[in-house]
């Protein structure tokens, strides 16, 4: 995934439609939360087993795919508007989590997740 290329494409898409005025960090974060809520709806009443890919209907999987795409679109737009380098931010966060959740302290301990 080329994050910068996707962000440029999304920025062009918004500019062409004069949507930049609506893409404030506040609005984008609210839209992101809404899309996460839509993803949650797909899985809300499913059991652990029913939520697995192999148990989802084609319609459920297609809906989850679209909601995940929407979530990433809004996250990419928000990062772009805040001038956050997502590749760097993700790498730093993984490193931070590795220090916080060591293998020795975490392995087999579901309470630490």
Which two three-digit tokens encode residue 24? 């404030």
pTM comes to 0.88
Decide if pLDDT at 113 tops 80. no
- 3-82 domain in CATH 3.40.50.2000? no
- Rounded average pLDDT over 20-49: 97
- Nearby residues of 65 by Cβ (< 8 Å), 6 or more positions away: none
Q: Are 52 and 77 in contact (CB under 8 A)?
A: no
In the chain, domain spans: 3-82, 85-113
How confident is residue 112, by pLDDT bands cut at 50, 70 and 90?
low
CB burial class (10 A; 0-12, 13-18, 19+) of residue 36? middle
Cα separation of 103 and 101, whole Å?
6
């Amino acid at each position: 995934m080329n994050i910068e290329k996707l962000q440029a494409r999304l920025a062009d898409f918004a500019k062409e439609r004069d949507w930049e005025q609506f893409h404030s960090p506040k609005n984008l974060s609210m839209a992101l939360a809404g899309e996460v809520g839509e993803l949650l709806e797909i899985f809300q009443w499913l059991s652990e087993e029913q939520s697995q890919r192999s148990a989802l209907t084609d319609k459920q999987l297609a809906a989850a795919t679209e909601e995940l795409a929407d979530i990433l679109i809004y996250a990419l737009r928000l990062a772009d508007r805040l001038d956050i380098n997502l590749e760097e931010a993700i790498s730093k966060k993984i490193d931070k989590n590795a220090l916080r959740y060591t293998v020795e302290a975490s392995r087999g301990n579901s309470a630490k997740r």
